Structure 1
Amino acid sequence: MSSCDSCSDSSCSVKQPGQANDQQSQMRQALDRRMCGVKHKIVVMSGKGGVGKSTTAVNLALALAQQGNKVGLLDIDLHGPSIPKMFGLEGQHPNADENGIYPLETGDLKVMSIGFLLESTGDATIMRGPMKHGAIQQLLSDVVWGELDYLLLDCPPGTGDEPLSAVQLLGSRAAAVVVTTPQDVALTDVEKSLSFCRELKLPVVGLVENMSGFICPHCGGKSDIFKRGGAQKLAEKTGIKLLAEIPFEPLVVIGGDAGQPHLLAHPDSANSEALRTVAKAVCDYCAAD
């Protein structure tokens, strides 16, 4: 049985009668055909930059894969793709044939980013609204994802073109994980992300409070350098579940720069344990969906 035969999305254009009669319809069918093989789509987003969203997306994808799932990670930060560096894959390029573009694989994870399509890591991606939508549609429909349990999308900060296009293109069985840090200046912007999800009828799995306390690498003590508990207050205010409070550890930064994700390099850390908690919450949510 093909993935389209088992697709549960009643709006899927592949399941509609008739033939695609224009280019846009053909592109939509190509996208739906590819997404039929993906059980769950998780949009990792935040209204605020600098909250560790990409780090969360990378390690959450790895945690889901470690639980025996087939996982893909798509970087849709078109202007500042960081996923290639965080996996130590800078300078590598995907293979392609008549079937499409093949994502790079690292361990059990399939990874794709516009960064893999640039000639140099220093090249700028210069595009505006309609071009961004088209680029994200191509990354979703032209990439040979195969059968996946989860496809995670790492979005740039804010509620602009990239997350809007992603939500519009993904179809059903998509949900969001929203990342914040504890301080009020971040929470104010992150609340806008929750409003974005409500407006677009995108379910929210829950909130992740990142950098929730600093763990000293020397004494093991914990200091609340960005305050603590802000995400819990936002969760209570909005009715959105708080999935985990992830502490900040200097080794996370070192690993990200070195292309060694923290969950793999330090699986027994408090940070890694919190990320596995988030992964379990995502699995439980999707199982009940």
Structure 2
Amino acid sequence: MSSTDGKPTAESVAQALSDKIAGKTVLITGVTPKGFGAEAARVAAKMGAKVVLAGRSQSTIQETADAIKKETPNADMKELIIDLGSQKSVRKAADEVLRYSSPVDVLILNAAVMGTPWGKTEDGLETQFGTNHIGNFLFTNLIIPKLLESPSPRVLSVSSVGHFWGQIRFDDYNFEDGKAYNKFQAYGQSKTANILFAVELAERFKDRNLVAFSCHPGGSHTGLGRNMTKEDFQKFPDHFNPDGTPKGNWLRSTSECVANYFIAGFDPSIADKSGSYLTDCKVANEVAAPYALNKENAKKLWELSEKIVGQKFPA
């Protein structure tokens, strides 16, 4: 179904691509109930995909799984505990995935944190960069063998229009150990990193049939903004009223936002556009910040990320 204003929804897109989804193994990170990941999992399961629900908390995963089972009793699901802010947890989860008997056809890197107060991961990285980028970078590279077992593997690195808030601080990604911290710049840095990661992943695996995209799903009411204060909202007068309520009609339903995931994950017509940035259910490189699609930046970030995790990942 499309939304009332005619925009594609997760279900309308997935229905159109149902023959490409059925039987595929789709691994989705960040499956918090009512969030984008949970909606992607619900629709993928309904279309007959084998869904891996990945998240930090067993109870959260279970709640989403139970909701899916109510709608699709025969849903084929498995659970994966992963904390992207912990490289130890990421490695443990990747080891589990590598033991799967079937390939991972589509990896949707949906999990993220936003606008967190200054803090560091257990590995000493600024929280948003460490979780939103480094965790995803390490996990994806560790499970590449499982992706390459698929005849047409795809990776979606979920970014945001928030990438305009910050470029990669190559020489100071930790904001002077918090002394120069700005939570929006830090979020922007992590979301720029998500786009650059897809650019370099596409480049490195272009001869191995692996296709990678990034996307801005659109703005919606989810738990992602839980760290936003009234003062924060006041910094965005074009989008929010002083009391924090949205201004205008830019907000979309969760389903409209998640429609982008199914285009990126399954639409055969964009397979030759690997490395691209999507929004509004189409390739839209022209609306991304040029620094976020810059190939030199992408290569530089990859090398920095390898240094951070202490491991090189040859294509």
What range is the shorter-chain TM-score in?
A: 0.3 to 0.5
Select the structure that is richer in helix.
Answer: 2
TM-score, normalized by length of structure 1? Answer: 0.43
TM-score, normalized by length of structure 2? Answer: 0.40
Q: Which has the higher relative contact order, 1 or 2, with Cα contacts under 8 A spaced 6 or more apart?
A: 1
Select the structure that is richer in strand.
Answer: 1
